[in-house]
Amino acid sequence: MTNGCQNVKVKGVEVTAAGNSPNTDGIHVQSSAGVTILNSRIGTGDDCISIGPGTTNLWIENISCRPGHGISIGSLGKQLHEAGVQNVTVKTITFTGTGLARGSPGGYCSSTPL
């Protein structure tokens, strides 16, 4: 977990938890800037990568996510005063056996190139 961190690189890690284990986020980033997550394998019963409020300039690349809920961004609007999430790049990620954890009430995305 990174919370309030700057310029962190996570590379080549393997995070595992039983596929039926709740609340086992693989990597959680919040209130951090300049975080890079590379070349890693994550398998949990919750989010492979969760991105919390106040996260900016996050780069995620070459990740294997199996099983789990994939990648979650934000906190589903639990707190209206929370800082947003900005400038997230995700490249070359493989999802296997992932599913939607719960619905979202909606949100706002800007500058979302595909």
CA distance 47 to 33: 20
> Are β-strands 49-51 and 27-30 bridged in parallel, bridged antiparallel, or unpaired?
parallel
Q: Which of 35, 69, 85, 88 is catalytic?
A: 69
Least confident of 14-23, 43-52, 74-83, 84-93: 74-83
Q: Quick check: 111 pLDDT over 70?
A: no
Question: How far is the CA of 39 from the CAs of 14, 24, 52, 109, in angstroms?
Answer: 9, 20, 21, 26
Residue 112 maps to a domain: no
Residue 113 resides in a domain? no
The yes-or-no answer on residue 28 being catalytic is no
Range of the domain at 82: 2-95
In a domain, 9, yes or no: yes
**Number of structural domains found in the chain:** 1
Statement: residue 93 has pLDDT above 80: yes
Q: Give pTM, 2 decimals.
A: 0.81
In a domain, 104, yes or no: no
pLDDT of 110 over the 80 cut: no
Give 23's DSSP letter: S
